[in-house]
Chains A and B, each alone.
Chain A
Amino acid sequence: MKRSILVQSNPDSVRDLRLVRVKKAFLGSIFFILLYFVILYKLYFIFNSTFNLFLEAYTFFSGLFLISRLIIAYFYDDDHSIFISPKKYPSVSFVISCKNEEKSIEKTIDTCLESDYTGDVECIVVNDGSTDNTLAAMKRSKKKHGKKLTIISFPENRGKRAGMSEGIIKSKGEYIVFVDSDSFVKPDAVKHSIDHFLYDPKIGALSGNSLVHNHDTNTLTKMQSVRYGISYDIFKACESVFGTVSCCPGCFSVYRKEAIMKVLDKWRNQTFLGTRSTFGDDRSLTNFVLRSWKVIYCRKAMASTIAPETYKVFFKQQLRWKKSWLREGTNAGSFMWKKNIIAALSFYINLLIPIAGPIIVLRVFFYDFLIKGDTPFFFIAGILAMSFIFGVYYYFIFENKHWWRVLQFTLLYTFVLIWQMPYAVIKLKDTRWGTR
């Protein structure tokens, strides 16, 4: 297993190994102490707060949701030990749809086609009306890879969904691997993924584990590397336990072609509130597949993707994600109750928390603090303690040296990003991408 990127140190000597062990023991004890106090405080709050059912309910459900994540994620097991003759591996088609990605597209194509996979591999790239030299870059790749690479080129921009659908239709493989033009798949990722599909025929889609490629560039990307890590290794892992992963991100995910073909038209022509859905293609496709298939997450199937490096781009991306989260959340809500009861409950609680969040923050920081004069010390201490707990938990799964930046990210979320949610509700019908 290669963890070369992000791993803090390769413990060479016994002394280093011991240091790491001491560090882990220390963090582990802080983890349990904090968890203990957080639970005590939540109980204290619920028993002692006076007549505020809304706040009590929020405390109870958010606490239940977050702590249950730790427990459920513990049961996540990336187990797909299966022995199949290397020659019997099914054929796989990579589909990459992109616009104006001349810098990274060649590298992306290379990493895909150079995968350690014994079955047939092909790659279909869709040039979605690029105005730069993307097409030329694709043609250079074509020379290098020959018939393994198919190029589809739209003279003008038709949107990502159109590009992807075109790619799917042209593909010959039994499995479709979606890769973003700025993501790079690890050589063994495809094999790990396909093993899962072969192991359990009910699986219709699989989310790979996307790491942040430019994780050392600046504070923002460092924070994002932890945010990605936690949302994959804890939250997606939890969903995966019940086979109900609600989003297989476009940067790297694998679908059974059979599962896609049945829903392809519906997905391509999806509308929401009377307007045609443009962004959120990944979440939307996962939802269509999730109705009748299991969707899981594979931790070992790694890829790395380039995260936004400036706050402007980052905020636009976050807003887009929130909008698609709102849209697909409501869609998924219509069938999630048919799935596992714990998965369904988690799903609905998770849907309500970010919506109630801004109200709570308004109350704590404006009403309680500015009007009544109560210092929000315990509120801030509480969210920091909770994010520390998640940071340490994640660090135990994956040694990301930036793990503690989850604290920074939580503050950024509480004070800035949370306000995107009400804005996203208002702007739900605005279907422009805003970036890229």
Chain B
Amino acid sequence: MGNKITVLKKTMTLFSVITIVIIGIWAGYPKFERLFKSIFVHPFYNYTPGNINPIVDTSKLKPAIGVPVLMYHGIMKVPDEENTTLLNFISHMEMLKREGYQTISLQDFDAFYYGDFVLPPKPIVITFDDGRKDSYYPVDRVLEKLGFKATIFVASNRMNRDDAFYLTWEDLQEMYKSGRWDVQAHGRDSHNTFLAGDNKRKGKFLTSRIYSPKTGLESIENFEKRVEQDYLNSIQDIKSHLGYVPAYYAIPLNEYGEHYTSNYEGSAEFNAKMIKKYFRLAFIEGIVGEIRPYHLYSYTLKNSNPMQVVRIEPRNLTTTDIQKVLEAEYPTEPSLSLSYTDPSSFENFLTIENGPTEIKADGLHLKIVEPDSTTVVSAGFIYWNDYTVETRMQRLKGRSTVLLARMTDNKNFVAFGMTDNGIFLRERINGTTTDLRPSILKDSYSKKLNTFKMVLKGNTVTAYFNNTPVYKDVKISSNKGKVGISTWSNSMSDILVKNFTVHN
């Protein structure tokens, strides 16, 4: 078409126009992208707060002694099993606002745990895992309008490879600059899985040694090198893009070998060592939706394990359900007063762990109808550490009356009681019971109304029988736990509990 001179001329013109356009795009794109995000993505959800009028006056409440931590993944429009819908998320946040919760940063949490930081009466930490776009875009306006802060734990290989589903480092810088967001570590490649055995078994990055059909299992030395390198990479990524060293870590895949079998038993210990070496606090997913492991307590107190901070993952729980967990477990100083003068107090504050019980006008009856069984009731919280627990009880029928303290589950507690063989003080650790001191025979008291008292302080216990100290400053290994009463017998029993009190 056409003669060569016109074609040449046109090519030159086109070439210059294209050059100008490309330069224009190259120069303008980053600015355009930012502008576009600010007008289009930022108010991706243009949030107007609903009813957030406070219904709790927090000014009269005492500072809290523990902190709950919430954990989300993505906030989405379409519901699914692992994430939270935008509407649910908003209702969660508005509930927190109404109930007077105040978000604290992980730095405050750290200062509380390791220092003297005074917590607000209703503190809460909000976290997001992985670093997805939908953890930020729909969420930011909500946080902004409610005056909340959040922390995002980023699996940094997603940012490094520019995965469009995840936030970019520029997004994260912007978030960090806003003051609403803190960016912390969640590993670099540690969400990966790989072949861990010849039967196609999959292993997790942090817990398994890599298996290769040719060379077999990775050596322990290489395993440790690889795993430690991931902790370092994760820190390095945040340091180089955001300019600070992360001190907090969300454990990838919620698992570093402590629960499930991997092909390397030493992984749990090694990871625990590494996490302790590089981080001040480490977070797990504890309470996921409606699944709530027995041993987990949703608040973190000064005596909780800082390397396994429990988080509540609300997913699509209703606000009432979340509120129930938060309120039922709100940590208080040890205090309990149950008495036969107010029988309903037994009903309200005791948990029946096992066996039949009955509340009558004269008090609480613990019964045994099946020989060789145990009846147990408990009260209080597993975070209670130093306290005095006291009970007045009588053996009407059966063989034993036992006061329990420092109970974390049915395999761990301190027991002070009386059987046909006299008074005893025992500790049960992981299901194995040992006598802390030899039994004392006081058979004449065995069918009377007796007072049992234990004073627990740090790693010691002093036990009183009818207000006389019988065991003094005995060393124990547990440092926290609930209180309880139990009886065991190989025949029918009936134990009457008149009073049950706990105080500091």
Instruction: Give residues in A with beta carbon < 8 Å to B.
Output: 35-37, 39-41, 43-44, 47-51, 71, 74-77, 79, 240-241, 372-373, 378
Contact = CB atoms under 8 A, between A and B. Distances in A.
B25 A49 contact: no
9 contacts: A36-B21, A40-B25, A40-B28, A51-B165, A77-B2, A79-B1, A372-B77, A372-B78, A373-B77
B25 A43 contact: yes
B14 to A, nearest CB: 6
B170 to A, nearest CB: 12
Contacts of A43: 25, 29
Contacts of B10: 74-75
A79 B25 CA distance: 34
B219 to A, nearest CB: 38
B114 interface: no
Interface in B198-215: none
Interface residues of B, number: 21
A39 B7 CA distance: 25
A50 B165 CA distance: 5
A74 B77 contact: no
A82 to B, nearest CB: 12
B78 A75 contact: no
A44 B29 CA distance: 8
Interface string B10-24: 100010000001001
B244 interface: no
Contacts of B133: 50
B430 interface: no
Given A47-B164, A77-B6, 18 more contacts: A36-B24, A36-B25, A36-B28, A39-B25, A44-B32, A44-B33, A48-B164, A50-B164, A50-B165, A51-B164, A71-B14, A74-B10, A74-B14, A75-B10, A76-B1, A77-B2, A241-B1, A373-B77
B3 interface: yes
B21 A39 contact: yes
Nearest to B40: A378
Contacts of A241: 1
Nearest to B76: A372
A192 to B, nearest CB: 15
B44 to A, nearest CB: 9
B37 to A, nearest CB: 8
A40 B6 contact: no
A37 B165 CA distance: 24
Interface in B214-235: none
Interface of B: 1-3, 6-7, 10, 14, 21, 24-25, 28-29, 32-33, 36, 40, 77-78, 133, 164-165
Contacts of A40: 25, 28-29, 32
A47 B32 CA distance: 13
The B interface is mostly helix, strand or loop, or mixed, namely helix
B7 A75 contact: yes
Contacts of A47: 33, 164
Contacts of B25: 36, 39-40, 43
A36 B78 CA distance: 34
B298 to A, nearest CB: 33
A77 B165 contact: no
A94 B226 CA distance: 82
A71 B21 CA distance: 13
List the 9 shortest-distance A-B pairs measured between CB atoms, nearest first: A77-B2, A79-B2, A40-B32, A77-B1, A50-B165, A50-B164, A372-B77, A241-B1, A75-B10
B24 to A, nearest CB: 6
A47 B3 CA distance: 41
Nearest to A37: B32
Contact of B1 (A71, A75, A378): A75
A41 B33 CA distance: 9
B227 to A, nearest CB: 30
Q: Which of A50, A71, A76 has the most CB of B within 10 A?
A: A50
Nearest to B20: A32
A44 B3 CA distance: 39
A373 B24 CA distance: 34
A268 to B, nearest CB: 32
Contacts of A44: 29, 32-33, 36
A243 B28 CA distance: 38
A285 to B, nearest CB: 23
Contacts of B2: 75, 77, 79
B1 A240 contact: yes
Nearest to B41: A48
A100 to B, nearest CB: 40
Nearest to B164: A50
Contacts of B28: 36, 40
A51 B133 CA distance: 12
Contacts of B6: 77, 79
A47 B41 CA distance: 14
A33 to B, nearest CB: 10
Contacts of A41: 36
A50 B137 CA distance: 13
B163 to A, nearest CB: 9
Contacts of A50: 133, 164-165
A236 to B, nearest CB: 13
Contacts of A240: 1
A409 to B, nearest CB: 27
Contacts of B33: 44, 47-48
Contacts of B40: 378
Contacts of B7: 75, 77
A75 B1 CA distance: 8
Contacts of A372: 77-78
A35 B21 CA distance: 9
A240 B40 CA distance: 41
Nearest to A40: B32
A15 B28 CA distance: 38
Nearest to B24: A36
B89 to A, nearest CB: 16
Contact of A79 (B3, B14, B78): B3
B172 to A, nearest CB: 15
Contacts of B3: 79
